[in-house]
Structure 1
Amino acid sequence: MSNNQSVRNIWSITEDSEKKRVIKQFIQKHGEHYTEEDLIKYLTKKYKITHFNPSFASVTRKEH
């Protein structure tokens, strides 16, 4: 399975509230003019998706 497909699979099961939070973070970092490829790269990093580990393992955030 490709990284793009893994991202799409994870995104499809992600709760709407989480999607909104992630998109807000992405737009703050990249602005509103982005490509689908930019978003896929961001999500791949965020969820640490690799060819060998296409799992839902979100990066741990420090809560203050």
Structure 2
Amino acid sequence: MDRSTGIVKVLPDLNGDTIVPSIVSVAGDKPVVGRPAKQDKFFSPEMVAEQFKKLMSEVNENGNLLRL
């Protein structure tokens, strides 16, 4: 954030992307995240986790946040 203006600046990653998909793969020698992990989804789907952030905000029938 620019302290003088209060404006938040989104910094791109090395590929120029400002959004990183929430996906993790442990199919190789070391874990990878984001777009590279999406490639493993087709070859080793059992070694890939995605959509887990959706579970972080699930609520029960009373509207209470569930803790996972």
After TM superposition, is the score higher than 0.5?
no
The TM-score bracket by the shorter chain reads under 0.3
TM-score normalized with structure 2 length: 0.20
Q: Which has the higher helix share?
A: 1
Q: Which has the higher strand share?
A: 2
Relative CO higher for 1 or 2, CA cutoff 8 Å, sep ≥ 6?
1
